[in-house]
Every structure is written in structure tokens, then in C-alpha cells.
A and B are shown apart, each in its own frame.
Chain A
Amino acid sequence: MKHNNSHHHPDSLTLTAFAAGSIDTYEGLCIATHIENCPECKRHMKQLELVGASILTEAKDSFVASDVKNKTLDAIKQAPQGTPQPTKKHQARNTDVPKVLTKWIPEGFGQLEWVKVNRQLATYDLTANKRGPRVSLVKVSAGGQMPHHRHSGKEITVILQGSFSDEDGIYTEGDYLVRESHENHSPVASLDKDCICLTLLDGPIELTGFFSKLLNPWLRLRHPI
């Protein structure tokens, strides 16, 4: 994902929450993945941080006891300072993985242990958490159909590679898409390239009965029967 040709961005309220730090880190990861390659959103986010700086500097002082200062002065004597930090992340070697995601995808998309759902579709979970929002990668082979799905919570998709289209249009690398619950759609990957997306599925996934399992391949995809 090198070029910025995205046409779908997080809205300014989402960017505000991101800059303010009032967003959960799952959603934050999706936003950061988009922003990394979107100069427009990056610039906007930096501006929104200026609002935070103004609010911080104009906050009414809260009394800090002298022992807090003394403890801090003791702490800095122990704290290593000024030394370049060890690189916390693997350097992505010639991969198209956004820097933000290299902690989870150090060797590139090809080296991941993808879980095959069917001939056209594979997934890989980035978060181990079984409850709460789930962040995963979804890979659809060129020309492949993503499962026709309905979901119960908010769904965020960031296109990392390739492109796909649905009833509403075509989406390309870098695009950030939000689908609210109960929107029906059936995206198809473009013919020339596999499509890899980062997805976040919000809200608990509930399987209420046989029909919901049958009717909801997307859930089955996450909870193989």
C-alpha cells in the first residue's frame, strides 16, 4: 500500500475521537492503518491534536503534591534517557504491509498462517481476544465473491491490497469503509489481483439458532462449525 489513491476516509468525528484518544484501540488500529498512507487525513489529525494541546494548556491546574514531584525526580534518575530506543518493530522487508501492522505481520502477507474458509476466501485473526471487537485480515482471490453477509454491529474495512466492488461502487487500496449493522452487501474482488482487507467487527457475535448459522456465512467464517 504505497500510493494514496483512497477516496473513502474516516469522517471528521472519527478523526477527532482518534486524535483525542477517546476511541478504543481496535478501531484506532484501523484508522491508523488508513491514515499512514493518507496525507490528507494525517494533516487533519495533526490539526485535531492542536485542539487537544489547547485544551490541555488551558485546563485549570490541579494541585500536585510535592511528594509526586519528588518521586518523579527519583524515577528519572533510574530511567534510561536519550538513548535511541531499540526498534520495537520488525522492519518490514519489501512488503506492502503498512508499518502500523508490522507488529502482527512482520514477514508480509504471504507468510501468515491463513485459515482457508473456501477456495476463494481465507482469514487471519490479528487479535486473540475471543470477546469484544475482532480485528482480522480477509483475503479474497481475484474475482472471488465475499460472503453475502449481514452483521449485528459496526463493521470497518480498510483495503490493504487490491480492490473490490459492490452495489454502491468500487473501492481501492487505502479506502476506509464503515458499514452499519443490517446493511446487506455482497462485495466482489476485482479480477486482476487478490484483495486483502483489514476488518473490524464490532459488538459481540451471537449465534441464536440454526437459521442464523445457515443464513449468515460471515459468522460461520468466524466460528467454523
Chain B
Amino acid sequence: MPDTRHRKKNDAEVQEEQAWLAAIANSQDEIAFSCLFDRYAPKIKAFCLAKSPGSITMADELVQEVMVKIWQKAHLYHPELASPSTWIFTLARNTRVDFFRKQHRHQTDITAEDIYDDLIDETQDLFIAAHQKQQQKHIQQAMSHLSLDQTEVIAKVYMEGKSHSQVADELQLPLGTVKSRIRLALSKLGLSLGELL
């Protein structure tokens, strides 16, 4: 569940994180890495624990794995294309997908990297990227205006990594209700595709 009392990330913090990532990429700066660790490791751990509550050891392993990836891939981070938090979210998501993929009863050789990496578009239009950064602020604002019901389903999909039908089972709601809550939430965030609600 997102902690809505937490204050929003401000521009200064974003710039600070970008500077840390640049320092890691350019000069293997361990102090910058340590700062980034202190800010993001507790978030990443919460993200991992949400999916598998109680698995402290596993969450710690995932935190370590994600942070090491940040260190290794810092040179691939493009500040023009994404904010640090978006980039870190995608790394955490991919790591978690792979972690649970390995535990899944139908093991597959399709990795998170296989499906997400080719979608990184380095030639992406900077105008669109700038627009998206603007949009991230709107989304952060709009998140706090979602109803409790909507926040709950969105958090379960994103934080807990649950499928729509898992969410429906858990909340003992019809699948259609869960889907319409997600659609309503997306439309409040300005992200609906113009589909019928």
C-alpha cells in the first residue's frame, strides 16, 4: 500500500539522484552508490516484501541484486529519457519477475530481459520524453486522489505483482469489478486509452 503521507519527490531530489547515477557510471563512485542505496534499498525491499510477505531473506537478496544491477548498468541510464525512479522501478520489476519465474511451476526460459529490454528505445523522441517527465508529476499528484478501492487494486497489481484474477480472488470481488476499478484508476491518472469504462 503506498504511503500517501510520504512527501512527493521534488526536483532537487531527482537531480541529486541523477548526479549519483552519473558519478557511479563515470567514476565508480562508491559514496554516490551508498547514498542511492540508502534512499532506494528500503523502497525496493518494501516492493519485494509486498509480493511475498514474511520472506525477509529473499527480499534482502532481491534488494542486493537490484542494487548491484544499478551499479552495473548505471552507464545505460539516460537522464533525458527517464527519471531515476522510473529506471530503478523497471530494474526492480525485471529482477522480481525473474525471481518468481524461477520459482514458478511451469518454468520458462523467457526472461524479463527478453521481453522488456528491446522495448527500451534509445532513439526515443526527446519531446515525448520531456512530456512523460511532466506526466510523472501529474501522476504523483493524481495518485493521492484515487479512492481507497482504486488505490488498493493498483497497489496489488504493481506492488504485489498480482494478476487481475488473483486480486479478484483475494478481495472476493467479481473479476469485472476489479477490472473496472483499475480502468477508473487509470482514467483518473489520465492514462485511459479511450476505451469504454
Binding site for B on A (CB under 8 A): 11-13, 16-17, 20-26, 28-29, 31-32, 35-36, 42-65, 68-69, 71-73, 75-76, 79-82, 88, 98-100, 103, 127-129, 131-133, 135
- Closest beta carbon of chain A to B148's beta carbon, Å: 15
Contact check, B68 vs A12: say whether CB atoms are below 8 A apart.
no
| CA of A135 to CA of B108, assembled, Å | 11
Contact check, B63 vs A64: say whether CB atoms are below 8 A apart.
yes
Q: In the complex, which residues 59-96 of chain B have their Cβ closer than 8 Å to any Cβ of chain A? A: 59-60, 63-64, 67-68, 71-72, 74-75, 83, 85-86, 88-90, 92-94, 96
Using Cβ atoms and an 8 Å threshold, which residues of chain B touch A76? 30, 33, 67-68, 71-72
Q: In the complex, which residues 99-155 of chain B have their Cβ closer than 8 Å to any Cβ of chain A? A: 101, 104-116, 118-119, 121, 128, 132, 135-136, 139-140, 143, 154-155
Contact check, A57 vs B186: say whether CB atoms are below 8 A apart.
no
Instruction: Given A56-B85, A76-B33, A82-B25, check contact A25 B74 (CB 8 Å).
Output: no
Using Cβ atoms and an 8 Å threshold, which residues of chain A touch B33? 73, 76
- Closest beta carbon of chain B to A205's beta carbon, Å: 13
User: In the complex, which of the residues A65, A68, A75, A88 has the most CB atoms of chain B within 10 Å of its own CB atom?
Assistant: A68
Instruction: Given A58-B6, A69-B41, check contact A25 B112 (CB 8 Å).
Output: yes
Using Cβ atoms and an 8 Å threshold, which residues of chain A touch B183? 12-13
Instruction: Given A59-B3, A62-B42, A63-B42, check contact A16 B157 (CB 8 Å).
Output: yes
- Closest beta carbon of chain B to A193's beta carbon, Å: 25
Instruction: Given A25-B111, A57-B85, A72-B68, check contact A64 B60 (CB 8 Å).
Output: yes
| CA of A49 to CA of B90, assembled, Å | 7
| CA of A68 to CA of B44, assembled, Å | 13
